Amino acid sequence: MHYWLMKSEPGTFSIDALARKGSEPWDGVRNYQARNFMRDGMRVGDGVLFYHSNCAVPGVAGLAEVASAAYPDPSQFQPRNPHYDPDSPRDAPRWWLVDVRFVRKLDQIIALDTLKADARLGDFALTRRGNRLSVLPVSAAQWRIILSHEKDSA
């Protein structure tokens, strides 16, 4: 069992949107490191922190889980799709994704500010200076520490 954090802009796809849909293919990732985490690292049932980026209060908005093994991202082959990649060979797709299933929405966002201020998290890919990875690993310890902040507002 491994843990991950996946970023989404709530204006594009929020935790509420995932709650409505139940499960969603995490398409459009066009970064090799993020792709490798999905394709090579993720297993069905892994825990996912659903993170809202590029918004008023960036932070963890809910919990999800990996719902499928990795498979080729169909959007790379669709010419009208903004994520179309004409250089990706059909017989050796460049971009892969997993399905992500809704687990629950948090009562309150666990803000990026809160995570930055928590020294217990140690070296964390999310808060590393300049990090823009949209899919990143979270250790079991970090997962527990992050979710401990849920109680802050209760």
Partner DNA sequence: GCCAACGTTGGC
Q: Does 32 bind DNA (CB under 7 A)?
A: yes
CA proximity to 55, closest of 111, 114, 9, 14: 9
In which element (H, E) is residue 146 found?
helix 140-148
Choice from 19, 103, 112, 145 touching DNA (CB under 7 A): 112
Could you give the 3-state DSSP secondary structure of residue 99?
strand
Q: Does 30 bind DNA (CB under 7 A)?
A: yes
Alpha helices of 45-130 — where are they, by DSSP H? Answer: 112-117
- The least distance separating DNA from the CB of residue 132, rounded to whole angstroms, comes to 4
- The least distance separating DNA from the CB of residue 9, rounded to whole angstroms, comes to 7
Q: Does 125 bind DNA (CB under 7 A)?
A: no
- The least distance separating DNA from the CB of residue 134, rounded to whole angstroms, comes to 4
Left if phi > 0, otherwise alpha if psi is -120 to 50, otherwise beta: which for 36?
Answer: alpha
Which residue ranges make up the site for DNA (CB under 7 A)?
A: 7, 9, 30-32, 53-55, 58, 112-113, 128-134
